[in-house]
Amino acid sequence: MTHSSRLSVAPMLDWTDRHCRYFHRLLSQNTLLYTEMVTTGAIIHGKGDFLKYDQSEHPVALQLGGSNSKDLAHCAKLAEERGYDEINLNVGCPSDRVQNGRFGACLMAEPELVAECVAAMKSEVSIPVTVKTRIGIDDKDSYEFLTRFVSIVNEQGGCEDFTIHARKAWLSGLSPKENREIPPLDYPRAYQIKKDFSHLNIAVNGGVKSLDEALEHLEHLDGVMIGREAYQSPYILSEVDQRIFGEDKPVIKRSDVVKAMYPYIDQQLSEGAYLGHITRHMLGLFQSMPGARQWRRHISENAHKKGADLKVLQDALAKIPAELEV
């Protein structure tokens, strides 16, 4: 597992787009950032550039959704040519739409197919090919089921890096949101996988809400992936470089993060982007601080308006008491 994957931000559909990743990169230089899951069909047949990203986002990984080994290998090669640092295969998403496409968590039941897909991608690229999975699906949630999956994908596919969402997934009966909250977390199962497969790089995902928790997991594992907490309270990333990666540098102020976004926003607006598509990722920056509600409200009420520009963000920032901002 690469140095950067000691701490990563999870791929989150409709959330971790390129604007979000640019914003997160200002908070931490070392955190590994993941794209939203992109299907092979979108890349191969879709209109638009689904591989677009800003060079400042490195280290950045592309998460792919699919189960056709040829298509996955083709997309992995395209991604490597574009400069991505890692390819990740989604074997964890439980949504109906994903299942109908035969990818996501349902693939846990087909470890040989996952191994075939990983092997095909590895044959085309020199960058790491990793797998993000669950601890089980439906009633297939024994430790033996998980070890069989990891063993086959490692031995037949050559995968050496697994991120384990420490919950099982119910493929029917629960929504994707419920699947992130209702199945109980079982971190010890991920720890045991690391003990039993000590030669592999194992990271854990699910329910991590602080860097203190991340550091506890890192005593047992190679990496930690933070999801919703990094999105809803993004300032959690501001101390990652110091506390997780050991860098000796000052923690960036929230207001400086906002101001550092100005040139990027100006550029994106000049290229036709809408302000609200960028600022929606910044709403939680002042979470739990005086003025946070006014910050969110001003952006939410004005960023979507026609012609909205940097002044919306500047006026929102003015609502944060300067003497309290750290």
DSSP SS3 for 307: coil
Minimal CA–CA distance to 85: which of 44, 34, 27? 34
| Predicted local distance difference test score (pLDDT) of residue 99 | 61
Report pLDDT digits (tens) over 288-305. 999 999 999 999 999 999
Give catalytic residues, as residue numbers. Answer: 93
| Predicted local distance difference test score (pLDDT) of residue 181 | 85
DSSP state for residue 173 in the 8-state scheme: S
Q: Are 85 and 58 in contact (CB under 8 A)?
A: yes
DSSP state for residue 170 in the 8-state scheme: -
Tell me where in the chain the CATH 3.20.20.70 domain(s) lie.
3-243
Report pLDDT digits (tens) over 215-269. 999 999 999 999 999 999 999 999 999 999 999 999 999 999 999 999 999 999 9
Instruction: Report which secondary-structure segment, H or E, holds 19.
Output: helix 18-27
Tell me where in the chain the CATH 1.20.120.1460 domain(s) lie.
254-320
Residue 306: partners with Cβ closer than 8 Å, 6 or more residues away: none
| Predicted local distance difference test score (pLDDT) of residue 262 | 98
Residue 3 has pLDDT above 70, yes or no: no
CA distance 161 to 177: 26
Residue 97 has pLDDT above 90, yes or no: no
CATH architecture observed for domain 254-320: Up-down Bundle (1.20)
Domain 3-243 adopts which CATH fold? TIM Barrel (3.20.20)
The two tokens of residue 47 are 């209109």
The two tokens of residue 31 are 């955190």
pTM for this model (two decimals): 0.95
